[in-house]
């Protein structure tokens, strides 16, 4: 199978089911930003040796792939219901946030993105996650979007923040403190 199809050479791409839309459509922007988020999570994972975090990040990557498929599937498609993400993983992320937060000292200051390489890249992923969420929120004004996607991305950004803190804490890397 060739990697190129030439179908996108006119500036359009296909949604699941074959509907073609411009590559600069907000729907494609949202899908692309989720893909960028997935890539940053994969990049962060290359710096992480703790299997509990690494395994969780891999699971998140798979969920993000499913989320992208959800975004790419029009509600009118016959298999639409099969392509929707559910609240199950959002609930699992909440449990992970609670568990990992128990490891951390309480926040007494605002912290700046940074620390070690893993923590810094997780902070970048968190920022891209917030951008993904904003793209999807804008998209909800144009097309029907599974409301679980916004909840998922909102919770994921919280989890990425906590994970950035955890990897910095476990590696004894101080978190940069914001000074006004």
Residue-wise pLDDT for 23-57, tens only, equals: 989 999 999 999 999 999 999 999 999 999 999 99
Share of the chain above pLDDT 70, in %: 97
Closest CA to 104 of 164, 154, 56: 164
**What does the pLDDT read at residue 78?**
66
**What does the pLDDT read at residue 179?**
93
Residue 138 has pLDDT above 90, yes or no: yes
What digits encode the pLDDT tens for the residues 62-120? 999 999 999 998 777 666 667 788 999 999 999 999 999 999 999 999 999 999 999 99
**Which three-class secondary structure string do you get for 127-178?**
HHHHHHHHHHHHHCCCCCCCHHHHHHHHHHHHHHHHHHHHHHHHCCCCCCEC
């Amino acid at each position: 199978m060739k990697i190129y199809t030439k179908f996108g050479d006119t500036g359009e791409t296909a949604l699941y089911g074959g509907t073609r839309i411009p590559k600069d459509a907000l729907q494609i922007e949202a899908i692309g930003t989720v893909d960028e988020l997935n890539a940053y999570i994969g990049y962060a994972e290359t710096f992480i040796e703790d299997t509990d975090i690494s395994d969780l990040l891999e699971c998140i990557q798979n969920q993000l792939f499913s989320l992208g498929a959800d975004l790419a599937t029009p509600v009118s498609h016959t298999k639409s219901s099969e392509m929707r993400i559910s609240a199950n993983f959002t609930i699992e992320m909440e449990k992970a946030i609670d568990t990992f937060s128990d490891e951390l000292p309480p926040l007494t200051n605002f912290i700046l993105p940074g620390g070690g390489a893993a923590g810094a890249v997780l902070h970048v992923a968190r920022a891209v996650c917030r951008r993904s969420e904003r793209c999807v929120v804008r998209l909800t004004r144009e097309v029907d979007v599974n409301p679980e996607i916004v909840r998922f991305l909102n919770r994921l950004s919280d989890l990425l923040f906590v994970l950035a803190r955890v990897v910095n804490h476990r590696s004894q890397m101080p978190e940069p403190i914001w000074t006004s």
